[in-house]
Structure 1
Amino acid sequence: MRILWIVAALLFAAVGAVFGALNGDSVALDFYFFHANLPKAAALLAALLAGWLVGGLVLWLAVVMPLRRRLSRQRRELARRDEPPALSRTQE
């Protein structure tokens, strides 16, 4: 199984290298505050990386953080339920 992952990674790396070589001409990017001239393949890779990072951040904030708060709240409630009841003065 491990050899299959290695072959797949090498295949994707080869396809990426060929794609980069075939799309080597420069593209001008204007980000309002600064301008950049990048090769097409580098611009695509940068856009892919930025999308991956923004998507991960949105997923973290929208799904993971609420689930962590819910888990923390449920752990506190469970700990409160497991505590022995305090004796009141009327029971002593």
Structure 2
Amino acid sequence: MRLIVTLVLLLFIAAGVALGALNADLVGYDLGFARFQLPKGAALLAAMALGWLLGGLTAWLGTSARHRRQRRHAARATDSKLPADA
């Protein structure tokens, strides 16, 4: 399994290097408050990394909220099963 993960990782690294090499020309970006030029490959890589991070953060926050809600419901269920004079 570890070998497969390593091979897939190397494949994606090679694809990223090829993508960056084939898209080396500069493109201007104007954000309204800043202007800069980046190679197309670097801009694409930055956009993919930002999307990956935001997607991971969203998934993590979603599962964390669900787990907290499940723990709260489980705690309420066990509290309701306890006798009142205990």
Give the alignment's TM-score, normalised by structure 2: 0.75
How far apart are residue 28 of structure 1 and its match? 1.0
Distance 1:85 1:59, change over 3 A: same
- Matched residue of 2:84: which SS? coil
Instruction: After TM superposition, give the deviation of residue 45 of structure 1 in Å.
Output: 0.8
Instruction: Give a deviation string over 1:1-57, Cα, whole Å, max 9, x none.
Output: 322222222122112112111111111111222122111111001111122223334
- Where structure 1 has 5 or more consecutive residues not aligned to the other structure, the ranges are 88-92
Call closer, same or farther: CA 1:76–1:44 in 2, change over 3 Å.
same
User: Stretches of 4+ moved more than 6 A in 1?
Assistant: none
Residues paired across the two proteins, number: 86
Percent identity reads: 42
Matches of 1:2 and 1:57, distance apart in 2? 25
> Which structure 2 segments of 5+ residues have no match?
none
Using CA pairs below 8 Å that are at least 6 residues apart, which structure has the higher relative contact order? 2
Aligned-pair Cα RMSD in Å: 2.2
Q: Supply the AA of the counterpart residue of 1:5.
A: V
- The aligned counterpart of 1:33 is 33
Name the residue aligned to 2:71.
72
Normalising by structure 1, we get a TM-score of 0.72
Q: Aligned residue for 2:51?
A: 51
Amino acid across the alignment from 1:76: A
Distance 1:67 1:32 in 2: 39
